[in-house]
Amino acid sequence: MSDLNNGISRRSVLKGAAVGGLGIAAGGSLLAGCGSGATGPLAYGARSVDAGPTAQNEALLAAYTAKTGNEVKYNATESNAFQNNLSQYLQGTPDDAFEWMAGYRMQFFAEQGLLADLTGVWDTIGDQYAESYKIASTGLDGKQYFVPRSWYPWGLHFRKSMFQELGLNADNVTNWDEFLKMLDGMKKKGLIGFAAGNKGGWEAMGTFDILNARINGYQFHVDLLAGREKWTDAKVTEVFTYWEQLIPYMNTNVLDLEWDGAMQLLLQKKAGSMLMGSWFGGNFKEQSEADYLDLSIIPFPEINPANGRDTIDAPIDGYCVAANGTNNEGGADFLKFAGDIEGVNAILGAKDANGLPIPMTSANKGQDTSSYDPFQKEQLAVMAEAKYITQFLDRDTRPDFAGPVVGPAIQSWFKNPKDIAKIQDTLQSQWDALPPLA
């Protein structure tokens, strides 16, 4: 109770004049919470306005309200805007529970005291999750601040029908030489081999991650992103040397296209393959069921036999409770439901506009994988092969480094790959210039 009051007074200072009305509203719901002793009405912040996730969230909220009688207010924000405003949002009057990402991005805000401790939730539903998910949900202080919802692997995507026409077999694209041979064959047929877009600045980070992990191994990759290795290392140069070999097989307008532009190349069968997170399968499905069923994924090929295909970027999305929310208890209660198989099944029961199920690879062990469609089963297989799981470059390193430094650096490499030595120098000097972590 006193914690909550502190939350309100801190807000009052920050929000100045506007706080009057908000404070009264917050006080009102607090009183209501105290009076009934129930977990009471709460607000949920979604970080997507797309049709699929909205339908899933609505199904989840409806199931929760039906079970507990608690009303949940639904606030949806477009994902980029949500991400850009998160600091302000969490320090202002946030929704009680909100959608966020696991790993460093969660730990960063947990460390600043902006996320509520969810250890109690994990005590209840923890046994429904594999240990790796618990680790990804744990803050630097050893407490859990996150409840996973879904995950998706980053792998090499292609269309089965195109592979068939080209006479290719996915089982024969397992190492770098075979991969280049495949790309070469596609190029000879007038196709783009490796669709890429990097106008958004983050898309190509996935390619860097996987090349670095394949060439230099998981440990080097993790150490590099944590600042324990140098960006000027010859090992990093090698990553870009390999990457440069792919340029002739890419579309020429990498810096014109965002991820969805690259996806269009694959969708329109202008490109033979693309490295991307499997989440874009939802966009294929929106296009047509046939396009979705044509989609296939394999692990990115091996480069260094010492590492094999042992690492994969598989970001986990899920939920947090905002410490400054008016109803932390209610938020935690909601996540207990959302993380439980009951909530997961409610999400899986959601239907898209055509009345078809919306595919989701849940983090919950209890999800019935026999109901998975073939594309989802392939995702599971890709995942099962990996020994090490990373989140994604912008989720595995400092936020003031990933977006403002690495993003532009890779863009300038695309402008002129010959500048690599200079780019590596500035990457390292900008890492060294970062403020010390509090």
Partner 1 sequence: MSSTAKDITKVSRRRAFSKADRTTLSAFVGIPLFFHLLLVWIPAVLTILLSFTYWSGISISRIKWAGLANYKNIFFDTPAFWEALRNNIIWLGWFGLIATPLGILLAYQIDRQIRGHKFYETAYYLPVVLSLAVTGIIWNFLLRPDGFVNGLFGRDIDNAISFFGNYDINIYVILTIASWRHIGYIMLLYLAGLKSVDSALREAASLDGATEWQTFKKVIFPSMKPVNIIVIVITIIESLRAFDIVYIIYGSSAGFPILGTLVFQNIAGEGASMKGAAYAVILFVLSIGPIIAYLRTTFKSDVQ
Q: How far is the CB of 279 from partner 1 (least distance, A)?
A: 19
| Residues within window 385-414 making contact with partner 1, judged by CB under 8 A | 398-404, 407-408, 411-412
- Asked if 287 interacts with partner 1 (CB under 8 A), we say no
**Secondary structure letter of residue 435 according to DSSP:** P
Of the pair 19, 61, the CB lying nearest partner 1 is at 19
- Asked if 268 interacts with partner 1 (CB under 8 A), we say yes
Q: How far is the CB of 105 from partner 1 (least distance, A)?
A: 7
Nearest-CA neighbor of 197 among 268, 296, 124, 276?
A: 276
Looking only at the bridges linking them, the beta strands covering 154-159 and 271-277 are antiparallel
Of the pair 386, 402, the CB lying nearest partner 1 is at 402
Q: How far is CA 140 from CA 104, 109, 326, in A?
A: 9, 11, 25
Phi and psi dihedrals of 387, rounded to 5?
-95, -35
Cross-strand bridge partners of residue 390: 313
Of the pair 80, 371, the CB lying nearest partner 1 is at 80
- Asked if 92 interacts with partner 1 (CB under 8 A), we say no
CB-side exposure of 281: number of CA atoms within 13 Å? Answer: 30
Q: How far is the CB of 382 from partner 1 (least distance, A)?
A: 27
Distance from C-alpha of 343 to C-alpha of 370, rounded to nearest angstrom? 19
How many binding residues for partner 1 (CB under 8 A)? Answer: 55
Q: Hey, what amino acid is at 247?
A: I
Q: Locate 429 and state its tokens.
A: 């000097």
- Asked if 283 interacts with partner 1 (CB under 8 A), we say no
Q: Are 407 and 328 in contact (CB under 8 A)?
A: no
Q: Are 251 and 257 in contact (CB under 8 A)?
A: yes
- Asked if 255 interacts with partner 1 (CB under 8 A), we say yes
Site string (112-131) toward partner 1, x via CB under 8 A: xxx-----------------
Interface residue with partner 1 among 4, 162, 254, 348 (CB under 8 A) is: 254
- Asked if 54 interacts with partner 1 (CB under 8 A), we say no
**Secondary structure letter of residue 303 according to DSSP:** S
Of the pair 201, 325, the CB lying nearest partner 1 is at 201
Nearest-CA neighbor of 409 among 379, 391, 382, 430?
A: 430
Distance from C-alpha of 336 to C-alpha of 226, rounded to nearest angstrom? 32
Which of the stretches 164-172, 177-185, 264-272, 313-321 binds partner 1 when contact is defined by CB under 8 A? 264-272
Interface residue with partner 1 among 123, 165, 184, 256 (CB under 8 A) is: 256
Burial of residue 354 (CB within 10 Å: 0-12, 13-18, 19+) is: exposed
| Residues within window 199-218 making contact with partner 1, judged by CB under 8 A | 199-202
Interface residue with partner 1 among 66, 353, 384, 438 (CB under 8 A) is: 438
- Asked if 29 interacts with partner 1 (CB under 8 A), we say no
- Give, in degrees to the nearest 5, the angle at Cα 65 between 62 and 68: 145
Q: Are 192 and 270 in contact (CB under 8 A)?
A: yes
Which chain residues interact with partner 1 by CB under 8 A?
80, 83-88, 90-91, 105, 108-109, 112-114, 192, 199-202, 251-257, 261, 264-265, 268, 270-271, 398-404, 407-408, 411-412, 415, 422, 426, 429-430, 432-436, 438
